[in-house]
A and B are shown apart, each in its own frame.
Chain A
Amino acid sequence: MTDHLLSMMTFLPLVGMLIVLFLPREADRLIKSVTLIVTLLVFLISLPLAFSNAFLNSSAMHFTEFAEWISVGKYFKMNYHVGVDGISLWLVMLTTFIMPITVLSTWHAVEKNTKGFMALLLLLQTGMLGAFISLDLFLFYIFWELMLIPMYFLIGIWGGKNRIYAAVKFFIYTAVGSLLMLVAIIYVYYHALQSGMPFESGFGIAHFYQMDIPVQAQMWLFAAFAFSFAIKVPMFPVHTWLPDAHTEAPTAGSVILAAILLKMGTYGYVRFAIPLFPVATMKFTPLLATLAVIGIIYGALVAMVQDDVKKLVAYSSVSHLGFVMLGIFAMNLQGMAGGMLQMINHGISTGALFLIVGFIYERRHTRLIADFGGLSKVMPVFATIFLIVTFSSIGLPGTNGFVGEFLVLIGAFESGLRWYTVFATTGVILAAVYMLWMFQRVMMGKVTNPANENLKDLSAREVVVMLPLLVFIFWIGFYPNVLFDKMNPSLENLIEQVKGKQQIALMAEQQADAVTLLTVNE
């Protein structure tokens, strides 16, 4: 059973999609139930991963599966090769954990064409899980592109007023990046073949990791990969699709987009861009760290002046993901672990924020801050939950956000990115400003708008949706070691590999410099 755990987990949603497609169009409740059951089953299947002790002291891939897929003579070979290590473990868990919550949140929100909506959600889940567990670059690319199609339809069909613009923009931005990455992938493959990689290993990343690509080529390849991932993260200045997509997407779409799809970009850096091209990483670090810091501050400043709650949360994502990037490029254990944890945290808190925005939108059909005020008197339960999530997003000690941001800042401060850290820290303050100010205007004070007077507090279903998220906000806030213990071995190994190669490259450069000096002197 555990032999095919990952495949079962990944393709069960696909089976679920086929089942949903054969259900009658009118059976609204049945379709939603089936989808919920499927996503819950996927979560159950994935649980052994979280409880496995294999990750505690091994950086290797676990639960691996291998099968030949496409093999064309001496041209190329692709394998179905999947596995999970400390880096992907918690992202996989986040995906399987968020999905049932998302489905449950759509219970009343989606009325139009439920069948299509649920089928696309399930297809999306297969794409996301597949991308996280792929150990073959070609396979990864397939899943990576596969995520695009359902998200495009989710935004375009069930989105808000400007949905067509947002959907097309989302699609084209992401696809342009990934097409350039495709060229880079093929180049890496033929380079590997020429430098003696056995044909049998196909596009497997294990062999690609061991390669020494010339620096000049690394720069181009890293640029292609980094551009593609930067769009997905999204980093300043290619973030512009995100506010549109988030604002127009239906609640479920926003939650998945924020909680999981954005992590694809940061995960791509950790899994592919950095270990494949370590020397180029070193050269690009100042640029990427600068963009990350700009993203942190710019995202926060723009979030502050939004009059739409959802847009505010969307821009706050740009800011939060900047922290993740900064942590990753600090290239030490604190920074990396902080960045990885911050990915999970952002998934939980921002996912929760989008759910909260969805709750009030369902009640009032508006998201403008000015339309609200004093809601805490009308909806006390809602207010409590909202406050906790707000604190988590700000990074108050005791919540998950604190641990992640703190580690990122320490890691970056101790690395060569000290000055970047100084500027990034202002982002923490700004986060408190825009979140609390928004909370104050929406929840506190007197009820000024009569339309808000009789709002219903959260229903039992809605509390059930939020409860698991709250549990994790505190759990990670107080006891994050459960997560760290299992991700650290992999991260340590990664850092060691990358740093080693960077050192060798630095030494080679110094030698070359010395030689030129000598020749000049002579």
Chain B
Amino acid sequence: MENLVQIAIQNVNLWAVMPSLILCCFGMGLLMINVFLPRGTTRHSVWISMIGLVVTALFVAKGWGNPQYGFNDAVAMDNFAAFFSITFLVAAGLTILMSDEYLHREGYPVNEYYPLILFTTAGAMWMASGTDLLTIFLGLEVLSVCLYVLAGFFRGQVRSNEAGLKYFLLGCFSTGFLLYGIALIYGATGSIKLAEIGIFLNAHGSLLGNPMTLGGLGLLSIGFLFKIAIAPFHMWTPDVYEGAPTTITAFMSAGPKAAAFAAFIRILEYGFFSLKPEWTAMLWGLAVLTMVIGNVIAISQTNIKRMLAYSSIAHAGYALVGMVAANEIGYSGVLFYLLAYAFMNIGAFAVLVLAGKKGEDNLTLEGFSGFGYKRPFLGVAMAIFLFALMGLPPTAGFAGKFYIFAGAIEAGYIWLAIIGVLNSAISLYYYLRVMVYMYFRDPVEDYAWVGMPVSVVVSIVIAIAGCLYLGIVPGFVMELAKLAIF
């Protein structure tokens, strides 16, 4: 007994979780402060959360190139985790900046919103840095539970309630799959540590010989594919994305999705590298299915928020192409792409936040008629984000797609790359349609516009800067993404 305690203490390395710990401290501190403040004052929450995010980012940056392992090798704060952490922090930061006015406008100026986002981010960081299955599960639960609450945050609105409940029920179900998968894998390999699973499987071989591993990997994958919203596990996405508060939709599509990618990549690459031919074959089919379903259904959407939800399914498909390639270029392509996607997608949602009036019934294509003339700045911003989502140079979207497809072609998946670009071609149609309404149609009626709050504008400007920086001179960040691969 004494011995055990000693081992545990010896292996605790707080540096491995320092950034997420700081983030949690900020979150909890914020909760405490809010007890003593009257309801409805929220400005300080924005400031404190932003400071928290920046401090965390500084700690993450400081740890770059200096990996920390802790908790009996359950946590590894390496470059991989650091790069993803920055993606989560960017997503959270942009989201928080555009939230304050929006919450007031919709009548829910509730302070708990901000700590919840911080906790979600911390959970995402644990997912990215977890090197055993339970740590990853722990991160996933922290992230998911906070997101269930956030999705149903507007408790007076039916749609938001529906989104929260749907996400909760289906999310729980998928978590069940995930946990069952972990249990089976533990049963088959005798370990929950990814490295040990990898060694065991490498020594003992194939899927076919052991149905328990097969079942375990399958169930585990379903859990993650659900979180990433890969077809055919994407059914929840449109409803949840449409019903959830716009800011949360933006956040969900960039942050948590990236977190699930991070954990999934690490599990497959650490634990199941010896089964690579099997899971790349599975992901190949899923990537194609996801890209096609996401893009084709997005064409028929008339609500821009819902259209972006489907398009985010398609984008998860593009990122999956990098995982199919399963080579260094492909993986670092995924990392780069998810960061780029955080900028362009959250940017697009930020414009929607300003465009939608109370109750959000202003997000149809018709409502965007002449938007570019009524709001020149927002129009240009939206155009840049849409071009980035299409993957046209010189934007981040192009650089990201190039990176991923280069990985696929280098690995010999030429047909997958061709299917990928053809899907990009399909996506041109529905992104262009938004632009058609924005610029080629005359304004139909004058909406009661909300103002242009500074914080939202700041978040849009940061997103534009990110889109263009990652598109015109992507070399530096691409190099970082390369160093982040194990």
Contacts and interface: CB of A to CB of B under 8 A. Distances in A.
Interface string B364-403: 0000000001000000000000010000111000100010
B428 A73 contact: no
A180 B332 CA distance: 23
A171 B392 CA distance: 12
Interface in A92-114: 113
Contact of B392 (A75, A148, A168): A148
Interface string A143-172: 001101100110011000001100110011
A231 to B, nearest CB: 12
Contacts of B422: 176, 179-180
Interface stretch (B41-49, B173-181, B472-480): B472-480
Contact of B439 (A72, A146, A157, A175): A157
A72 B440 contact: no
B425 A73 contact: no
B142 interface: no
Interface stretch (A182-190, A340-348, A514-522): A182-190
B478 A70 contact: yes
Q: Is the interface of A mostly helix, strand, loop or mixed?
A: helix
A167 B428 CA distance: 12
B410 interface: yes
B424 interface: yes
A182 B425 contact: no
B479 to A, nearest CB: 5
Given A75-B482, A190-B409, A179 B393 contact: no
Nearest to B423: A179
A141 interface: yes
A175 B436 contact: no
Nearest to B480: A72
B394 A175 contact: no
A517 B438 CA distance: 67
A163 B439 CA distance: 12
Nearest to A139: B393
B300 to A, nearest CB: 16
Given A70-B478, A175-B425, A186 B409 contact: yes
A418 B274 CA distance: 60
B406 interface: yes
A142 interface: yes
B473 A70 contact: yes
Interface in B112-130: none
Interface string B408-430: 01100010011001101100110
B478 A175 contact: no
A182 B418 contact: no
Contacts of A167: 436, 440
A317 B383 CA distance: 32
A183 B392 contact: no
Interface in A164-213: 164, 167-168, 171-172, 175-176, 179-180, 182-183, 186-187, 189-190
B329 interface: yes
A190 B410 contact: yes
B251 interface: no
B328 interface: yes
B406 A186 contact: yes
A230 B175 CA distance: 51
A179 B425 contact: yes
Interface size classification for chain A: 20 to 34
Contact of A156 (B328, B410, B425, B440): B440
A52 interface: no
A76 interface: yes
A155 to B, nearest CB: 9
A163 B440 contact: yes
A69 interface: yes
Contact of B393 (A72, A75, A142, A186): A142
Contact of A164 (B406, B418, B421, B436): B436
B235 interface: no
B432 A171 contact: yes
B418 A168 contact: no
B402 A176 contact: no
B405 interface: yes
B425 A176 contact: yes
Contacts of B428: 171-172, 175
A69 B472 CA distance: 9
Contact of B425 (A152, A153, A168, A172): A172
Contact of A75 (B373, B387, B406, B436): B406
Contacts of A142: 393-394
A71 interface: yes
A182 B439 contact: no
20 contacts: A69-B473, A71-B475, A72-B475, A75-B328, A76-B329, A142-B393, A142-B394, A145-B393, A145-B398, A146-B393, A148-B392, A149-B387, A168-B436, A171-B432, A172-B425, A175-B392, A179-B422, A182-B421, A183-B409, A190-B410
Given A73-B479, A149-B387, A186-B406, 6 more contacts: A75-B406, A75-B478, A76-B406, A157-B440, A168-B429, A187-B409
**What are the 4 closest A-B residue pairs judged by CB atoms, nearest first?**
A179-B421, A70-B475, A142-B393, A72-B478
